[in-house]
Amino acid sequence: MNEQDPAKLSLSNFLAGETGDPLQAPPSFTKWMQVGAWAVKLYEPELLASADARTTIEYGGKPQQVINLCSYNYLGLANHREVIAAAQEALKTHGLGACGSPMLSGMTDLHRELERQIAEFLDREDAMLFNSGFGGALGTISGLLRKTDVALLDNRSHLSLRDGAVLSRCRTEKFEHNDPDSLEAALARQQGRRQLVIIEGIYSMDGDFGKLPELLAVADAYGAKVFVDEAHSILGCGENGRGAAEKFGVQDRFPLVYGTFSKAFGALGGFVAGPKETLQYLRFYAHPYVYSCALPPVIIAAILKALEIARREPELRTRLWENADYFHAQLRALGIDTGASTTYVMPLVIGDRERMYRLGHELRRRGLWVAPVDYPAVPQDRICFRACVTSQHTRADLDEALNILADTLVPGMMQSVAHA
C-alpha cells in the first residue's frame, strides 16, 4: 500500500498488485484518484465539435469555447471540406468498416491506392498501413527485431517504440536524449549483435527535432541501422512535407519511413514505407497488422484526400511554421520556458505539479485549451502543458492565447501581447 503523502505520489507508484485480485485496481490508486479528482478532471475532456483552431469542449458541466492548442491537426485537414466530402463518398461506395484483417478480407482498392500513394510520396518501393500509429510502431519494431538483437532507444522515445522492443524480447539500451556521445557509448557496450537505433523526427513531449545527421553518423560508425519515427514530422517538415529526414537531407539513409495519419493528416492510423521484401516479411510478422482489423475505407479515402491537399498546398506548411515561430518568439518574450522546442509542438514548463493543475483549470476557465503533461511522461521538474500550433490558427487566435497565458502563468503581467 502507498501510505505516502498523495502529493508526492505519481503513476509510477501503483505498479504493484495490492490485493489477491488482478482485475481489481490497487485500492491506494483509487484513493489517490479520489484525493486528486479536481486535477484528474483535466483529463479526457469531451470535444463537442471538430478539432479546429477554435472549438468547444465540455468544462465544468457546460460547453466551453476554447482556443485549441491541444489537437494534432497541424495542417487543419481533420475538418477540411474536401476531406469530409471524400469520406462521405467512400461511405456510400464502401460502407463503414473494413470488417477484417488486411491479410484476409479487410484490404480494399482504397487501401491499395493509399499504399501506392504513400510509397510514391516518400520515394519508396512499397508501403503498408496500420489501423493505429501506435500499432504501426509497435508492430514494425516487434515484427523485425529478434531476441538476439539490440534496440537502442533515446530516453524520450514514445512508448509505442519501447513497447515494440519489449515485445520483440530483444535487448534494450537507452541513451541520453539526442546525445551522440551517449549513443556511441551504448553502441560500444553492445557490439557483436545486430543493432537498431530508434529515434524520432520531432519528439512528442519536448517538441525538439531529433539530431538525425549526428546520430546517423555515430550509428554508421558502428554498422548499426537507424529507425526514425516521423509521427509528428510527416507532412509538417521538409520542403515537400516528407518529414524531418527530408528537412535534414538524410532521407536516403533511413531504410524505412514510419509515420502516423493521426497528426498532420488529421485522421487515424499509421504506415511504414520501405523495400518491398522487408515489407512483405513484415506483413506476416507484425501482429497489429495480421491480427487486427484494417482501417475503415472511409478513413482511407479521407487520408488520400488529405495527402493530395498537403502536396497541392505547401502554403499550409509555410503557415504552420510562421505560426510556430511567432508563438515561440512571443512565449520567449513572456519568459515562458519552452525547453528545447524549436517546432510547432511546445512544452510550457511549469515544474510544479499542483501549480500546473491549478493553472490548467484557470486556462480552461479563460478559454485556452492546452494539454497537462505530468510525470512520468516528463521528468518531475519538467511538468508542463503541451501546446500545439497549427496552420489554421490566425494571428488573433495566437495573440488571444498569449494574453491568456500572460494573465495566468506570468505573475504581474497583464495583456502584454500587442494585438496584430
Ligand X SMILES: Cc1ncc(COP(=O)(O)O)c(C=O)c1O
Task: Respond yes or no: is residue 225 known to be catalytic.
Answer: no
Q: In Å, what is the CA distance from 36 to each residue of 6, 31, 223, 374?
A: 8, 9, 49, 13
Q: Indicate whether 127 belongs to the interface with ligand X (CB under 6 A).
A: no
Instruction: Give the integer Cα–Cα distance in Å for 46 and 53.
Output: 16
| Nearest residue to ligand X, scored by beta-carbon proximity | 133
Q: Indicate whether 262 belongs to the interface with ligand X (CB under 6 A).
A: yes
Q: In this chain, which of 204, 323, 392, 408 binds ligand X, going by CB under 6 A?
A: 204
Contact assessment for residue 123 and residue 251, using Cβ atoms and an 8 Å cutoff:
yes
Catalytic site residue from 232, 247, 328, 393: 232
Q: Indicate whether 134 belongs to the interface with ligand X (CB under 6 A).
A: yes
335 Ramachandran zone, left/alpha/beta (phi>0; psi -120 to 50): left
- Starting from the edge strand earliest in sequence, which strands make up the sheet with 384-388, in order? 345-349, 384-388, 371-373
Give the shortest CB-60-to-ligand X separation in angstroms.
27
Task: Respond yes or no: is residue 263 known to be catalytic.
Answer: yes
Q: Indicate whether 131 belongs to the interface with ligand X (CB under 6 A).
A: no
Per-residue binder mask for ligand X (CB under 6 A), 328-347, x = binder:
--------------------
Q: Indicate whether 132 belongs to the interface with ligand X (CB under 6 A).
A: yes
Q: Indicate whether 231 belongs to the interface with ligand X (CB under 6 A).
A: yes
Give the shortest CB-288-to-ligand X separation in angstroms.
10
Tell me the torsion sign for CA atoms 166, 231, 204, 189: positive
Residues numbered 95-124 forming contacts with ligand X, rule: CB under 6 A: none
Catalytic site residue from 263, 305, 328, 393: 263
Shorter beta-carbon distance to ligand X: residue 106 or 207: 207
Q: In this chain, which of 108, 131, 160, 392 binds ligand X, going by CB under 6 A?
A: 160
Residues numbered 9-48 forming contacts with ligand X, rule: CB under 6 A: none
Q: Which stretch binds ligand X (CB under 6 A): 120-128, 227-235, 242-250, 308-316?
A: 227-235
Task: Respond yes or no: is residue 80 known to be catalytic.
Answer: no
Q: Which stretch binds ligand X (CB under 6 A): 127-135, 163-171, 179-187, 308-316?
A: 127-135
Q: Indicate whether 73 belongs to the interface with ligand X (CB under 6 A).
A: no
- Return residues touching ligand X (CB under 6 A): 132-134, 137, 158, 160, 200, 204, 229, 231-232, 260, 262, 270
Residues serving a catalytic function are 204, 232, 263
